[in-house]
Structure formats: C-alpha cells, structure tokens
Amino acid sequence: MVVELRFYEYITNFLEERVRTLFSYPGEQIYKLFEEINNSKIKNIVAADERGAGFMADGYARISNYFSVCLATAGPGGCNLTTPLATAYKDSSSVLAITGRPTRKYIGENYFQELNLDFLNFHKGFFVNEPKTSYLEKSLSLLEYKKPVHLNIPSDVLEEEVCEVQYTEEREEREFKEVEGDLLLVGQGIYGTLTYKEILKINKLLSKFPVATTFPARGVVKEEENIGLVGRRGDIESLKKAKKIINLGASLSYNTYVESLREELLKKTINLDIQRINYSELKNLIKNLNIDFSYDIKKRTFKAKGDYSRKVEALINNLPEDSILVLDAGKHTVFTSLLKTCNIPKSIIASHSFGCMGFSLPGSIGVKFATEDFKIDREVVSISGDGGFIMNIQELKVVSQHNLKILFVVFENNKLANFCRIENPDFIKIAEAFGIEGYRVESLEEIEDYVKDYLKGNKPLILSIKVEDEDLPKPNT
Ligand SMILES: Cc1ncc(C[n+]2csc(CCOP(=O)(O)OP(=O)(O)O)c2C)c(N)n1
Ligand SMILES: [Mg+2]
C-alpha cells in the first residue's frame, strides 16, 4: 500500500529538518499543522498572543541569522501577526509566517473567520491553493534576503496529498573585483547567509579597515577600536571626510545618511551587491578591498548626567560585556544606545527601523530560545520603558512556563516618552502572579547587587527601576 503524504505532514517534515523551535498560537484552520508539529521533534512554543509569537520568531531569527517560524490561524490569528511581520520587514528579519484560511470553497465568502490575509505580504507571500512542495522551497530561498515571507494555506489544502513540484534555482558563487574607496560602511546585510559563528569572525576580516556601521551592524568590528556607529546617533565626521564610501549591506536609511548630508553622501557611495553572501564570498570580497583612509577616531561624547541615563549606565556597567540587550522603543533605547559600546555583533537587538513598542519582552524570549538552541553562552537582557513593557506583558507566561533566564528591566518614569504621563500597575505583583521574582529599585546603588545576584542564579527576574524623567540629547539631523 502506498502511504500518502499529506501537506501538513510534508510541511512538518520540512521544518523539522531545519528548525528546532517555532512560535505559535492555534486555531481551527491551522490545527492540523499545529497538532502535527506537536508530535514532531520541533519545540512548539505557544505564546499568549500571535503578536508575541511573531516577535519571538523575529528575535530568534536575529540571533541565529537563519529563518524562524511563526504560526497563526485564519482571520484574527493572522491579523495579530501584522505588527510583528511589519517589524520583521522594516528591520530585515527572516520570519516565515504560516497562517490558516478556511476551506477553498469559502474563500471570498462571508464564512466564519474568512479574510484575505494578503496584507501580511509586506515583502513576499503566497496564497497556497495547492499542496505544492515548491512553496516551501521557494520561501526558504526568499528568506535568505532577510525579509519575512508569508504562506496562507486553506485548511483543506493542508489535508490534501502533496504534489511534488520541482523547484530549482541557479546559484553561482560570485567573484568580487577589486574596489577602491576610503571608508567601509557596514550594515547588517553583511551577515548574509553566514552562521552565528561565522558572523563572529567578521571582526578579524575587517579589523584593519576604517569601518563605520549602521545600528543593527554595531559590534561587527570592535567599536572601541574603530569608528563604529555613524549617523543620527553616531559619528558623522568620518562620513563627511571620506571621498568614497564603500557600502557593504547598509540600507542607507535616514538613520545612517541623515537628511542634511544625504544627497552629498549618496553621491560618493559605491553600493556592492552582497545579498545572500556566504562566508567564502565575503572573504573573497574583503581580500579585494583597496582602502586608504586615515581618520582620528572621536571618543564618544555623551555623558550620563540625569537620573534616568545614570541608572541605564549602572545597569550596563554591571552586565557582562557580551550580554545581548533587547531594547524596546522609548527613551531607554536612546540612552542605552549612547552608553553601550558594542564590541561584538548582536549586542543590541531592537526594532531600529520600525521603532515598535512592545518588541522587547517577546523579542527577548525568541533571542533566549535561539541562544539555547545554538549554544550561545550570552546573557539575555530585555530593557523596556513602562509603556512598552505592559504592551506585551502577557508573554511573561512563556517565560515562567519555560523558566527562561532573562533579566527584564523596566525603567519606570511614569511617562510615555514626552507624550503623556501614565499610571502603572504594580509590576512586581504582576511578576509574582506569573511566578517570576521581581523587585522595585529606587536608588542607583541597589542596581549592582540585584544584577550580581541575578547573574549567579538560573531563573528570570524583573527589576522595575524608578527613574526621574530626563530629556534626550539632540540627534544629528
Ligand atoms: C507600537 C507603538 N506605538 C506608539 C509608538 C510611539 N512611541 C514611541 S516612544 C513612545 C513612548 C515610550 O514610552 P515608554 O515605553 O514608557 O518609554 P520611555 O520613553 O518613557 O522611557 C511612544 C508612545 C511606538 N513607537 N510604537
Ligand atoms: Mg516610560
């Protein structure tokens, strides 16, 4: 007897060969796949909300530099993935979102939970109307462009027998010719299809060059020994002084090429196409760089003066240098970015381009699972404001359920940046309700003891640090 392979079985096998953990929320239209995944080797982390599942997948992909997966049902489930998928799109993260849809005969009809989910295709997406294997293979290759991909699958398609469709893609190893310039601008595109371990080796390849970086690429070379961050919150003199800038994987956003210099900088930039670059290609490319530039590296000028920034500084100073700081959006993002020196890659994970509040808490959960799966021995610290922390506070459920050692720091200024005042619930009581230890920290001096104790242990902790409000320094514009 020939055993038929159903599409949900095929997808599960396909994922099982490639991912150890995925993030989901179940529902009727995706249940066949959800259930099959539960019976596979894949760890299926059920979030409290699809938004959480999406952000977790995003955090996971940013560390592994490989694709990650989130799963949601039709209609409301898919809708809740909107913000995380938009974040993944704007911040260049390889998230594969698989959503359900009612049976094909109801598509376009006023059927329960039926809704066209094409709006989730921020980069690429497919309505999977036949159980073709090529959808998965094609998605995998698209995900190497570091953007999210969405597969929307009707429930009857999931249950049909797979049809094998050949998908082949010609891929030749690229040759890189000699390029002359005087400053390297490195963006996260340089990570290409490299593994986490290969990413750590880029430092050695680049250390002899003057290297300016974008936000997400901070730490690709040791910032304390090189130019490091440029643009809105970094150096701009090096950009001005260079006659030719070689761009390796920067998207040239307004954060990097600020408005006032933008036209002038764009004119002198040589963009190298390094999409989907692998490690041997990168080595080859770097060998062919001809760079001659001398530049006195300016030391950082920002000094913590107010209560908020001094407490951020105390936190950073008491954490191991290689900690992965997962930030939210708010004043702490700016203070942390200005005060942290990134000497290794992925020291700061944040929604740099989308600036999405509510990212840090679930994002740090994804980061933590990735550090476990890929045996990356670095502390994971989630840093939020009091507004951002409460946006996805329900995901603490996942933290306590899986006893994830993450340090959650909430800076309580009782304000949403400069927008308005807010009243907070007692975050420590909420932590308790989730079975997580938490403390309210009033003075700067207490931070050291709490962090030291935390580092010795093996469980999560919430520190709610009271801060007096402080204005941000002006950015370069
Ligand atoms: C989802 C989302 N909604 C709104 C905003 C606009 N916004 C940016 S920062 C901010 C306030 C952040 O407040 P909080 O988390 O308390 O951090 P703080 O600046 O007070 O340290 C808001 C409302 C945003 N970036 N993202
Ligand atoms: Mg606040």
Q: Does any domain span residue 302?
A: no
Q: Does any domain span residue 167?
A: no
On whether both 11 and 139 belong to a single domain, the answer is yes
On whether both 17 and 103 belong to a single domain, the answer is yes
On whether both 238 and 328 belong to a single domain, the answer is no
Task: Give the pLDDT score at 293.
Answer: 82
* Residues in the 5 Å CB sphere of ion ligand 2: 385-387, 413, 415
Backbone angles phi, psi at 186, to 5 degrees: -110, 130
On whether both 250 and 212 belong to a single domain, the answer is yes
Mode of pairing for the β-strands spanning 380-385 and 228-229: unpaired
Task: Give the pLDDT score at 1.
Answer: 54
CB 354 within 8 A of CB 86: yes
On whether both 150 and 38 belong to a single domain, the answer is yes
On whether both 277 and 327 belong to a single domain, the answer is no
Q: Which two tokens stand for residue 340?
A: 């942290």
Total tally of structural domains belonging to the chain: 3
Task: Give the pLDDT score at 3.
Answer: 67
C-alpha distance from residue 288 to each of 65, 159, 178, 233, 295 (Å): 25, 52, 4, 31, 21
β-partners of residue 416 are 420
Task: Give the pLDDT score at 165.
Answer: 86
Task: Give the pLDDT score at 292.
Answer: 84
CB 363 within 8 A of CB 349: yes
Task: Give the pLDDT score at 207.
Answer: 86
Q: Which residue has the tokens 């932590």?
A: 431
CB 99 within 8 A of CB 72: yes
Residue type, 51: R
On whether both 226 and 278 belong to a single domain, the answer is yes
On whether both 239 and 341 belong to a single domain, the answer is no
Task: Give the pLDDT score at 54.
Answer: 98
Task: Give the pLDDT score at 299.
Answer: 66
Question: pTM of the predicted model, to two decimals?
Answer: 0.97
61-108: pLDDT as tens digits: 999 999 999 999 999 999 999 999 999 999 999 999 999 999 999 999
Q: Does any domain span residue 296?
A: no
> 373 exposed, middle or buried (CB, 10 Å; 0-12, 13-18, 19+)?
middle
Strands in 204-308 per DSSP E: 211-213, 228-229, 245-248, 269-271, 289-291
Whose CA is closest to atom 23 on ligand 1? 416
Whose CA is closest to atom 9 on ligand 1? 330
CATH number of the domain at 261, please. Answer: 3.40.50.1220
Q: Does any domain span residue 301?
A: no
CATH number of the domain at 338, please. Answer: 3.40.50.970
**Considering 236, 262, 291, which residue would you say is the last residue of a domain?**
291
User: Which string of DSSP letters, residue by residue, matches 389-425?
Assistant: HHHTGGGHHHHHHTT---EEEEEE-SEETTTEE----
Indicate which ligand has the atom closest to the C-alpha of 331: 1
Ranges of the chain with pLDDT below 70: 1-3, 299-300
Q: Does any domain span residue 174?
A: no
On whether both 374 and 462 belong to a single domain, the answer is yes
On whether both 144 and 27 belong to a single domain, the answer is yes
Residue numbers of the domain that contains 256: 179-291
Give the span between the Cα atoms of 405 and 460, in whole angstroms: 4
On whether both 24 and 113 belong to a single domain, the answer is yes
Q: Does any domain span residue 12?
A: yes
Which of 160, 153, 34, 31 has the alpha carbon at shortest distance from 101?
153
Residues within 6 Å of ligand 1 by CB? 328-332, 355-358, 384-388, 411, 413, 415-417, 419
β-partners of residue 217 are none
Q: Does any domain span residue 474?
A: no
